[in-house]
Amino acid sequence: MRKNWTRREFLQTLGTASFAGTVAPFRTGPVIDAGKIRKKRVAIIATEIRRWSHAEHFVDRFLEGYGWEGRHHYPPFQLAGLYVDQAPPGDLTPDRARRHQSMKVYPTIAEALTLGTSRLAVDGVLIIGEHGKYPRNEKGQTLYPRHKFFKEVVKVFEASGRTVPVFNDKHLSTDWNQAKEMVADSKRLGFPFLAGSSLPVTYRIPALELPKGIKLRESVCVCYGGVDSYDFHGLETAQCMSERRAGGETGVSAIHAVRGERVWAELEKRPGTRELMFAALARSHTCRAPDGYTAIPPTVDWIRQASSDPVAYFIEHNDGFRTAMFLLNGYVQDFTYAGRSSNGEVFSTLMYLPMPGFSAVLANFFSPLVHNIEEMLLTGRAPYPIERTLLTTGMVEKAVESLHAGQTRLQTPELKVVYSAPAGSHFWRT
């Protein structure tokens, strides 16, 4: 059952996208059938749809709606075309297709975008290349087919002479050159391109908004998860704050990734970073306490004991700014941030993720991400720059390489990604 449309929602469905800034060789924007106004259509290109896979969270929010600003909000879009690469045990694709017959599942990406015709027939594309069984390379990176999916989308755009906004879930690729190519394609063809995960846009506790132009000197994120996986979330957590510093983002000059005991040895050399690590932990809701306790302030000794295989990335930016990220598996299960300004002031917050199977039933941190995607589809503008994801993609790739190369510090002249943060942070606070 669908609720009645509000006037605002109805008007939103009438809006045509406008694309400012770039000069594109192709026409951009939605198809307007002669004499008819229809809901904008969206295609989702996914690796797999099962309970709690990333694609499930996106598909269900478009099909079933989601809680937003105090009501159950139905996106004013029709999820019309779906391509799913794999069918794992518990595949939910048939169930969703059966219950939502306005959505058709197609055997190819091209057909999902053309809705079985010969030309692009949707007004937006989401590429959700996270989860599923894909090979790993020698560095341990999972080779999700995001670049491949993206290139197939671009092929349809080129063949149709028309582009539409694209969202890519998480980092762009495991390969820097592929990531660069994806961004270059979006610029070349002039379509809005948004990417990344929920971390920059989820609830912050407290609701910390760093003013744009702040004289920030260092950012630290403390989090958990795997290399080439949650490290991306951790780096995004830091980067969505760091990019707001005076002068904007200047790119990354060197990356040094370490693990195990070397984490603590490196931390010993960086008292300022250590202070920020504890400031971030003071926002965590999940620091594990020793047996017999539930929540007590940590010591380095206890963190060492609780987190048996820690990983840290130490990142130097071109303007002297520094980022550090700590994966402390076994000690924390959330994402916290701390930053220090030039006058020594420390800012910190928790990027709150209601996590299914742990602290919640729904992964509602996908709701603000879908909201930002909706904003792009409605306005034709990405609410925050693709360069954030490009740089974070590069940081992950180079950090993985640093670990693979024996935890050596790598110069990264190729990561000279220069960009300016948006005026607002677009995180969830309404």
Partner 1 sequence: MNLPLNKIVFVLDEFALKTPGQQLLDRFLAGYPRDGKFHRPSDARVIAHFTQKANAAAIEQRVRDFGLIVEPDLNKALADADGALLFTGSASKRACLERLPERARCFVWGLLAEKGNEARELIELSRQRRIVMSTGTALPVTWHLPQLPIPNGASIHEALVVALGEFPQGELEALECLLLLIERRWRPQKATRVFGYEGDAVWEAGRKKVWSWDLLSSALSRSDSPLGDPVKDGRTQNLVGLQLVQKLATKPRAWILEHHDGLRSQILMLDGVAKDFTFALRGSRGFARSGQIFRPVQPQQHEFSPLAAALENFFRSGELIAPLERSLTEVRLLEAFHRPEAKTKEGIGLSQA
Residues at the contact surface with partner 1, assessed by CB under 8 A: 1-3, 51-52, 56-57, 60-61, 64-68, 70-73, 92, 95, 203, 205-207, 278-279, 281-287, 289, 292-298, 338, 346-348, 352, 354, 356, 358-364, 428-430
- The whole-angstrom separation of Cα 231 and Cα 202 is 17
Residue whose CB is less far from partner 1, 175 or 209 = 209
* Least gap, CB of 340 to partner 1 (angstroms): 11
* Least gap, CB of 57 to partner 1 (angstroms): 7
What are the φ and ψ backbone dihedral angles of 192, each rounded to 5 degrees? Answer: -65, 135
Give the other-Cβ count within 10 Å of 110's Cβ: 18
- The whole-angstrom separation of Cα 65 and Cα 2 is 9
Residue whose CB is less far from partner 1, 209 or 266 = 209
Residue whose CB is less far from partner 1, 215 or 285 = 285
Place of tokens 């917050």: 349
Residue whose CB is less far from partner 1, 28 or 93 = 93
Residue whose CB is less far from partner 1, 232 or 352 = 352
What are the φ and ψ backbone dihedral angles of 380, each rounded to 5 degrees? Answer: 75, 15
User: SS3 of 196, please?
Assistant: strand
* Least gap, CB of 163 to partner 1 (angstroms): 29
Distance of CA 6 to the CA centre of its chain: 30
Cis check for the bond before 206: say yes or no (omega within 30 of 0).
Answer: yes
Strands 311-317 and 322-327: antiparallel
Residue whose CB is less far from partner 1, 60 or 228 = 60
* Least gap, CB of 205 to partner 1 (angstroms): 6
* Least gap, CB of 389 to partner 1 (angstroms): 25
Is the C-alpha dihedral spanning 255, 258, 262, 268 positive or negative?
positive
Residue whose CB is less far from partner 1, 61 or 322 = 61
Q: How many residues does the chain have?
A: 430
* Least gap, CB of 324 to partner 1 (angstroms): 17
* Least gap, CB of 394 to partner 1 (angstroms): 30
Computed on alpha carbons and rounded to an integer, the radius of gyration of the chain in Å comes to 21
Burial environment of residue 62 by CB neighbours within 10 A (0 to 12, 13 to 18, 19 or more): buried
Place of tokens 């995180």: 427
What are the φ and ψ backbone dihedral angles of 288, each rounded to 5 degrees? Answer: -75, 135
- The whole-angstrom separation of Cα 156 and Cα 312 is 41
- The whole-angstrom separation of Cα 77 and Cα 72 is 15
* Least gap, CB of 199 to partner 1 (angstroms): 16
Structure tokens at 202: 């989820």
Residue whose CB is less far from partner 1, 241 or 386 = 241
* Least gap, CB of 44 to partner 1 (angstroms): 15
* Least gap, CB of 298 to partner 1 (angstroms): 8
Is the C-alpha dihedral spanning 67, 69, 71, 74 positive or negative?
negative
* Least gap, CB of 1 to partner 1 (angstroms): 6
Q: How far is CA 378 from CA 8, 19, 35, 42, 381, in A?
A: 12, 11, 20, 12, 8
Residue whose CB is less far from partner 1, 60 or 387 = 60
DSSP string, 249-289: B--EEEEEEEETHHHHHHHHT-HHHHHHHHHHHTT-S-PPP
Residue whose CB is less far from partner 1, 82 or 156 = 82
Residue whose CB is less far from partner 1, 60 or 374 = 60
